[in-house]
Amino acid sequence: AYRDNEKPKVPYHFVPRYREPLMLFGKKYVDRHFGYNFWKWNLSKFKSQKDPFTEEERKKIFDLMKEEWNLK
């Protein structure tokens, strides 16, 4: 739903999934939940996967995504 005087907007949530371990910024990321529903595991504090990246590294990843899709 949206207001009549506004253009509708669609939010995107990108959740990359990796079958094989991924090396990024010298860290090994293993997607323990590959092949399963991400949101189901994300809601459990016991089964959720911890993010190995710092806030600065997440910003670099976002910049890499913008560069890849030419969204400067």
pLDDT at 1 over 60: no
Write the DSSP string, 28-63.
Answer: EE--TTTTS-HHHHHT-TTTPPPP-S-HHHHHHHHH
Helix (H/G/I), strand (E/B), else coil: 11: coil
CA 13-16-19 angle, 5° bins: 155
pTM of the model: 0.54
pLDDT at 3 over 90: no
pLDDT tens digit sequence for 31-69:
887 887 766 666 666 666 777 788 999 899 889 888 888
